[in-house]
Amino acid sequence: MKRRTIATLPAITAIAITAITALALSTASCRHGDDRVALPARVDQLFARFAAGLSPGCALAVVEQGRVVLARGYGFADLDRRLPITPRTRFDIASTSKQFTAASVLLLAARGRLSLDDDVRQYVPELPRHDTVITLNHLLHHTSGLPNYIDLLAASGKRYEEVTTDDDALAALAAAPQLQFPPGTAFRYNDSGYFLLSLVVKRVTGRSLREFAAENLFAPLGMTDTRIVDDLNDLTGEVPGRAVPYEREDGSFRPLTTAWEQTGDGGVNSTVLDLAKWDANFYSGAVGGKALIAAMTAPGSLANGSPLPYGGGLFLDRFRGHRRERHPGSWRGFCSELMRLPGRRLSVITLCNVGDADPAALSEQVADLNLDAGARP
């Protein structure tokens, strides 16, 4: 009897454990299911301040497992005309644009039109000579030591409302021979490298970055609402579907303008839905293949071999234990964030038209909600 009792206890225990485990899994599944049902409302709460009254705001897209699972607009694209923000509203995505410049340069490298080890002066001889050659790779990874052309133009008295051209920015860099550090010895994020890369694309191909990206990136991916703006009329005029940028001033909102024509470091106008198509390319490789994606998401390095937190137009770090690829942007009332957790096939895209919106924090909060809700079945 004892032997039979002892023999059957493990079986009974196993059955009980199996039942308890099944119940726990079922309960967890129900809980995650409930979390997913409630997810849109919880996301809405994060953006509630933009929906209160007449306020600029943000557009949001959440992409999971290759699908746009949530697309929202909060607040107004144009306060005077009471035009609401929608997922089709266009925003200047500012420095989030840098990944498109990087992709353009890396495509040209893959086609043998240039090498990342080339001296930038091979293409932009107006720049001063330095003891150490500044390569395209230095520009791509923010290790050139060049001063920021935006700071140079601002220090010369240029206002953002004044017209400044590529020639103005290049002249400012040509007149500033002092480097911040020897090329390749430090990482310091600035806009000069990517502005110069836009000139490299133009001088190698004979076409502006706007034209090259339109043909080689945007059109193949069906990004019909995306373009690089490098023309004064588009910068200062009314563009259908584009939000007006604002800043807070004395309890209200003041519209902002800019007439700076430089691209490469910024200048892309897009929507959250179009950027979701760009995000999909990081899995499909439809443009550039897996080689382009690998090049963009590989960390650069200093001359001593130390890895950098930056790839091709992307910051590389970790979020809640997951590898993350991201880039923020901010320019004259527009601000943006595109963050991707490739291991989870989860991306959050937030574009805003008020300077203090903090889309990086909002994107992380949205990602938190999605991660807490569990993987989508």
* Span 41-372 CATH architecture: 3-Layer(aba) Sandwich (3.40)
Lowest-confidence segment of 16-30, 73-87, 163-177, 314-328 by average pLDDT: 16-30
The residues that bridge with 62 in the sheet, in sequence order, are 70, 348
For 341, phi then psi, to 5°, come to: -110, 90
Contact 147, 190 (CB under 8 A): yes
Q: Which of 352, 215, 327, 213 is nearest to 272 (CA)?
A: 352
DSSP 38: H
Residue 61, both tokens: 């897209």
What is the structure's pLDDT at 376?
A: 64
* Alpha carbons 116 and 73: distance in angstroms, whole number: 40
What is the structure's pLDDT at 322?
A: 98
Confidence check: pLDDT of 14 > 70:
no
Q: What is the mean pLDDT of residues 121-144?
A: 97
* Alpha carbons 210 and 263: distance in angstroms, whole number: 8
Tracing tokens 């957790």 back to the chain, one arrives at 341
DSSP 86: -
Q: What pLDDT digit, counting tens, does each position of 224-247 carry?
A: 999 999 988 888 878 889 999 999
* Alpha carbons 243 and 75: distance in angstroms, whole number: 11
Contact 64, 367 (CB under 8 A): no
Tracing tokens 């090259």 back to the chain, one arrives at 212
Contact 63, 346 (CB under 8 A): yes
What is the structure's pLDDT at 33?
A: 57
Tracing tokens 């439809």 back to the chain, one arrives at 286
Lowest-confidence segment of 5-19, 151-165, 298-312 by average pLDDT: 5-19
Confidence check: pLDDT of 369 > 90:
yes
Whole-prediction pTM = 0.90
DSSP 298-357: S--B-TT--B-SB-SS-EEEEETTEEEEEEEEEETTEEEEEEEEGGGTEEEEEEESBTT-
DSSP 206: S
Q: Which of 120, 106, 142, 150 is nearest to 266 (CA)?
A: 150
For the chain, the structural domain boundaries read: 41-372
For 157, phi then psi, to 5°, come to: 100, 0
Orientation of helix 289-297 relative to helix 98-110, angle to 10°? 130
The residues that bridge with 252 in the sheet, in sequence order, are 249
More confident residue, 16 or 98: 98
* Alpha carbons 130 and 134: distance in angstroms, whole number: 8
**Secondary structure of residue 99 in the 3-state scheme:** helix
